[in-house]
Amino acid sequence: MTDATKPELYPQYCFHLSPTINRWCHFRIADIWRLRCHPGFQGQDVYFHLNHPIKWIRISGVVVAITEREKKHFYTIDDGSGATLECVVNVPGTAAVEAAPNGKQNPNPNPNPLPVIDAPIDVGHVLDIKGSVGTFRKDKQIRAEKIVHLRTTEQEVAFWEKVAQLKRDVLSKPWVLDPREVRRCRKEEEGRHTSRRQKDCASERHGKRPVRGAGVRNTKLHNEESKPHHEKGERKARDYREPLARRPVRQTGLEKRRAAKPVTRLIPVTGKYDALGL
């Protein structure tokens, strides 16, 4: 498929209009390996069939291998399409409740959500698995959300009919949106971003403490700037005052008189008292 014939990839704010993003998509395992991940959507676990965004898938197949770890079990599923897929199932730890260092019990030893499983799983069981698509070391995986055993052939036939129906009605042709719908979604997204920025700015303004006395100074400046220009000029003229002339020194005739000398007189002290009368 050349670049001219490739279907258009729509922005993420248009995904809610997609017929595949919020539904369980029935897939063959071979088709899951053909899902592509585009650079703008890496790390979001969103893959594409043509231009259909795929996040939640549903597969059915036989368990051909089991690998058990402490907190995860890995089931290899084969559906006969020519490929296998690893199913990752989170399981609780070795102890239902782990003890914390302070002696208290930790009621949630495994933070990963546990899938819903109707019965124990063993090799040879036929399963109907719902989960999300993921990649680990360049290999596709399905992270299980719910696992149900298929116990009859009629259940398997019904599943494969849904796979064929989805491929015929939805996945066989590109997803096309009217340009007006794209513009509407873009405006809604821009409005959400604008309101979010306004809320952030408002929270920042309310979070800062005002400087003491700054409000009074700002009010004076605001009042001064809001006055007309002729009033500003009158105010400046009133505020400006010429310095007063220095008064001349008045001659009194006493400037040439010499200062009187201090008189030092010794008073003799007699008797048993000193000069302080003690």
Rounded distance, CA 24 to CA 60, Å? 13
**Of 96 and 61, the one with more pLDDT:** 61
Say yes or no to pLDDT of 3 above 90. Answer: no
pLDDT, tens only, 222-274? 555 555 555 555 555 555 566 666 767 666 666 666 666 665 555 555 555 44
Tell which residue, 59, 18, 54, has the closest CA to residue 163: 59
Q: Which domain holds residue 180?
A: 20-94+108-185
Q: How confident is the model at residue 194 (pLDDT cuts 50, 70, 90)?
A: confident
> What's residue 111's pLDDT?
61
Q: What sign does the CA torsion over 163, 133, 55, 82 have?
A: negative
Q: Are 115 and 144 in contact (CB under 8 A)?
A: yes
Is residue 116 situated within a structural domain?
A: yes
| Averaged pLDDT for residues 61-77 | 93
52 phi and psi, to 5 degrees?
-80, 120
| Averaged pLDDT for residues 182-190 | 89
Is residue 47 situated within a structural domain?
A: yes
Q: Are 186 and 13 in contact (CB under 8 A)?
A: yes
Is residue 221 situated within a structural domain?
A: no
| Averaged pLDDT for residues 89-112 | 57
112 phi and psi, to 5 degrees?
-75, 140
Residue burial 177-205, b: 16+ Cβ < 10 Å; e: rest: eeeeebeebeeeeeeeeeeeeeeeeeeee
| Averaged pLDDT for residues 180-186 | 90
Rounded distance, CA 58 to CA 169, Å? 17
DSSP β-bridge partners for residue 78: 62, 84
Is residue 121 situated within a structural domain?
A: yes
Say yes or no to pLDDT of 166 above 90. Answer: yes
Q: How many CA atoms lie within 13 A of 247 on its CB side?
A: 3
Q: What is the CATH number of the domain that holds 74?
A: 2.40.50.140
Is residue 252 situated within a structural domain?
A: no
Rounded distance, CA 130 to CA 56, Å? 7
Is residue 15 situated within a structural domain?
A: no
Structural domain count of the chain: 1
Say yes or no to pLDDT of 126 above 80. Answer: yes
Say yes or no to pLDDT of 191 above 60. Answer: yes
Is residue 173 situated within a structural domain?
A: yes
> What's residue 253's pLDDT?
63
Is residue 241 situated within a structural domain?
A: no
| Model-wide pTM > 0.75 | no
> What's residue 259's pLDDT?
63
Q: Are 86 and 61 in contact (CB under 8 A)?
A: no
Rounded distance, CA 212 to CA 106, Å? 49
Q: Are 47 and 98 in contact (CB under 8 A)?
A: no
